[in-house]
Amino acid sequence: MNPKIRLICFLAFILAFGISDAQNVQIDSLKNALRITKTDTLKANQYNQLADLYKEINPDSTLYFANKAALLSSKNDYNFGLATANFNKGNASIILANYSVALKYFRNAQSEFQAALQKDPLNKKAKSGLARAYASSGVVYSEQSKYVLSLKNYEKALEFYQELKDQKNISKVLNNIGILCKSQQIYPKALYYLKEAYKIQLVLKEENAPMTLTNIGAIYFESGKYKEALSYYEKAKAGFEKYQNKRGFALLNNYLGDYYKKQNNILLAQNYYQKSLALYEELQNKFGASLAVYNIGLLLQKQQKYSEALSYAKKSLAYAQEIGVQDQTFHSEKLVSELYESMNNPKEALLHYKNYINARDSIINQETNMKFAEAEMNYEFKKKEALLSEKHKREIQFVIFSILGGLLLIILSLVIYNRMQVKRQLTLKKEVAEYEQKALHLQMNPHFVFNCLSSISSFIVQNGTDSALKYLSKFSKLMRLTLEYSKGSLIPIDKEIESLQNYLELEQLRFDDKFEFEIQSTENVEFNMGLPPLLIQPFVENAILHGMVPKDGKGKISVRFDVQKLQLVCTITDDGIGLSESKILKENSVTAHQSMALAITKKRLKIMESITSKSAKIEISDLNSEPQKTGTKVTLYLPIQYIP
């Protein structure tokens, strides 16, 4: 990377956070106030204010007053004062080019600001100080070519400033992110962030606005757009003259020197470089001074003033070596070697050429590592760029989403209301179906009782009083069981089997063991399955009256419960005279009786289908496929229902 880009961009970094909120407080006023101040914490604050003001004038004085503030703060367990003192010492160390020491101070400041926030989470000054410490750490990490760490620290600072709604410092962080992109020669992104920062600065009439204009101009210059570059430089110059920012003006003079050098106006270029050098030396800024004297040396070399150029080149090399800037050392060694060669001093030329080669190899290794960091930084920038671009659309999106949200709320309300209406209708239909089911069930109860009483009457006539008493005892047991479960919509299968058992025993007694029976339930049938009451009994009754009674000899009735294909299957089989023969022998009363029971059962099955939304049907067939085999088979396919 071009060392001028790196050095000048770094100077821009330290400018962005070099102005404190107490800039307008006069140094003499603070010193007078210190004489009458009694409270240690207040004194610590005043020392810190002095330290901050002196950083533009004398960094050594900044360190002196910051140390005084630190001593008082430590003595009184005053985290905020100690944090601010460390922050001021970090700023002074940056100006003095002690970057690793500066980073240590900023880390200490972060810890102390965090401690102050733990004591008082609503302390906005501590939160603002923490943001400044992160931002300044970003400056140092950038100088150390740790671009990912630099970006992460800027992001943390930006997060705190946005939380505080501090537009002034938001613009500073955006400016520094732009400079970070600029240092990596990612010019489109750099311009984007710098212009976003300038928009805020323009509204706030921010003193750092000229610095941002300077950097925008530098990007246009490096992109070959010299007319646009000069336009921004002129705007920045007017701003620096208004706000009296010496460090910013020194940087701008360096840029103007580069511009006029590009225009081959050597005299004007040298004039601006000399102005830049004078300002940097006045500020004791060896970082900027090293670049300024190097540029002057290059101009003098071009004019073949080798002896004079050598003096500036050596001065640049001395500054660069003193502050440990490797790439400036590399370029200065090369210039010194070339000047000695032009002055016919091969020994010194070779010595400095070797130093130049060593510095070059070191930089190549460093740049190889930087490529990986740059790739990672680009990835981070892509994510952050998307977030920043969305920021300007939020207000419009908020309005649009509010309208859409209102419409969706109305639609959702209508849908919910409609669903409630549909649900209410379905509930009513289900209730009607259940009442119909109960009504049909109630119709079956008197039908069943009437049939049983008829059987008792016939039994008494045929068998006498003693046998009738036995029959009545079984009948009462059956009626109790029937009435017990007639109130519910379902009866457990085991109780249905018990009821059928009692009924078949009664009919056996009545017809003098005219038939035998069996009732089976497979292992597929679960104990808590149920079926409607008196659903099976009419078919068992028909099997007895229309199958067994007309038959010559003894017959058999089988009742079987099973689960097949997710349905409860009830099968009633008899080996009586069969369905066809029964129709021929029926009497009118029997026909009416059968028709009523079957019609009611079919209605009950239809209602069961509507309630459960599952199939329910009945099949009746003759068992006369073989000459010797007769009888009837009734199969009911019912939906599986469970009793709670």
The stretch 8-20 carries a mean pLDDT of 44
Which range is least confidently modeled, 98-102, 521-525, 589-593?
A: 589-593
Residue spans of the domains in the chain: they are 434-642
Which range is least confidently modeled, 295-309, 472-486, 512-526, 591-605?
A: 591-605
Q: What is the per-residue pLDDT for 551?
A: 86
Confidence of residue 589 (pLDDT cuts 50, 70, 90): very low
The answer to whether residue 5 scores a pLDDT higher than 50 is no
Confidence of residue 440 (pLDDT cuts 50, 70, 90): very low
- SS3 of 597-622: the string is HHHHHHHHHHHHHHHHCCCCEEEEEE
Note whether 559 and 517 are within 8 A (CB): yes
The answer to whether residue 414 scores a pLDDT higher than 90 is no
**Choice between 424 and 433, residue whose per-residue pLDDT is larger:** 424
Confidence of residue 268 (pLDDT cuts 50, 70, 90): very high
Amino acid at 180: L
Note whether 524 and 561 are within 8 A (CB): no
Pairing label, strands 567-574, 632-639: antiparallel
Note whether 239 and 213 are within 8 A (CB): yes
Q: Which residue has the tokens 């970006």?
A: 151
The answer to whether residue 442 scores a pLDDT higher than 80 is no
Q: What is the per-residue pLDDT for 482?
A: 72
Amino acid at 16: A
The answer to whether residue 84 scores a pLDDT higher than 70 is yes
Tokens of residue 121, six digits:
């989470």
- pLDDT, mean over the chain: 81
Which range is least confidently modeled, 13-17, 240-244, 548-552, 598-602?
A: 13-17
**Choice between 581 and 214, residue whose per-residue pLDDT is larger:** 214
The stretch 73-85 carries a mean pLDDT of 91
Note whether 509 and 470 are within 8 A (CB): yes
Q: What is the per-residue pLDDT for 385?
A: 55
The stretch 385-413 carries a mean pLDDT of 75
Q: Give backbone dihedrals phi and psi of 290, rounded to 5 degrees, phi first.
A: -60, -40
∠ CA 66-70-76, nearest 5°, is 145
Q: What is the per-residue pLDDT for 595?
A: 52
Pairing label, strands 515-521, 555-564: parallel
Q: What is the per-residue pLDDT for 629?
A: 64
Q: What is the per-residue pLDDT for 520?
A: 93
The answer to whether residue 430 scores a pLDDT higher than 70 is no
Q: With pLDDT > 70 as the criterion, what percentage of the chain qualifies?
A: 81
**Choice between 365 and 506, residue whose per-residue pLDDT is larger:** 506
Pairing label, strands 491-492, 529-531: antiparallel
The answer to whether residue 114 scores a pLDDT higher than 80 is yes
- SS3 of 398-435: the string is HHHHHHHHHHHHHHHHHHHHHHHHHHHHHHHHHHHHHH
Q: What is the per-residue pLDDT for 561?
A: 95
Give residues with Cβ within 8 angstroms of 265, minimum separation 6: none
Tokens of residue 1, six digits:
């990377």
Confidence of residue 578 (pLDDT cuts 50, 70, 90): confident
Confidence of residue 605 (pLDDT cuts 50, 70, 90): confident
The answer to whether residue 9 scores a pLDDT higher than 50 is no
The CA distance from 51 to 67, in Å, is 9
Q: Which residue has the tokens 């000054």?
A: 125
The CA distance from 559 to 555, in Å, is 14
Tokens of residue 459, six digits:
């039994």
Q: What residues form DSSP beta bridges with 516?
A: 556
The stretch 65-77 carries a mean pLDDT of 91
Query: What DSSP line would sit under 336-385, residue for residue?
Result: HHHHHHHTT-HHHHHHHHHHHHHHHHHHHHHHHHHHHHHHHHHHHHHHHH
Taking only the tens place, the pLDDT of each residue in 499-555 is 899 889 888 887 888 899 999 999 999 988 998 887 888 889 889 888 888 888 889
The answer to whether residue 221 scores a pLDDT higher than 60 is yes
SS3 152: helix
The answer to whether residue 622 scores a pLDDT higher than 60 is yes
Confidence of residue 274 (pLDDT cuts 50, 70, 90): very high
The answer to whether residue 444 scores a pLDDT higher than 70 is no
Within its chain, how far is the Cα of 379 from the centroid? 19
The topology (CATH level 3) of 434-642 is Heat Shock Protein 90 (3.30.565)
Q: What is the per-residue pLDDT for 19?
A: 40
**Which H or E element spans position 450?**
helix 394-463
The CA distance from 532 to 438, in Å, is 10
Q: What is the per-residue pLDDT for 560?
A: 95
Q: What is the per-residue pLDDT for 8?
A: 44
| DSSP symbol at 525 | S
The answer to whether residue 437 scores a pLDDT higher than 60 is no
The answer to whether residue 388 scores a pLDDT higher than 90 is no
Confidence of residue 229 (pLDDT cuts 50, 70, 90): very high
The answer to whether residue 83 scores a pLDDT higher than 60 is yes
Q: What is the per-residue pLDDT for 228?
A: 93
What's the pTM value of the predicted model, to 2 decimals? 0.46
Which range is least confidently modeled, 97-101, 190-194, 364-368, 397-401?
A: 364-368
Note whether 134 and 110 are within 8 A (CB): yes
Pairing label, strands 632-639, 617-622: antiparallel
The CA distance from 240 to 19, in Å, is 14
The answer to whether residue 14 scores a pLDDT higher than 50 is no
Which range is least confidently modeled, 9-23, 141-155, 339-353, 399-413?
A: 9-23
Q: What is the per-residue pLDDT for 23?
A: 46
Q: What is the per-residue pLDDT for 37?
A: 85
Taking only the tens place, the pLDDT of each residue in 120-179 is 888 888 899 999 999 999 888 887 778 888 888 998 998 999 989 899 889 989 988 888
Q: What is the per-residue pLDDT for 380?
A: 56
Q: What is the per-residue pLDDT for 439?
A: 47
**Which H or E element spans position 568?**
strand 567-574
Taking only the tens place, the pLDDT of each residue in 27-36 is 888 888 888 8
The answer to whether residue 608 scores a pLDDT higher than 70 is yes
| DSSP symbol at 305 | -
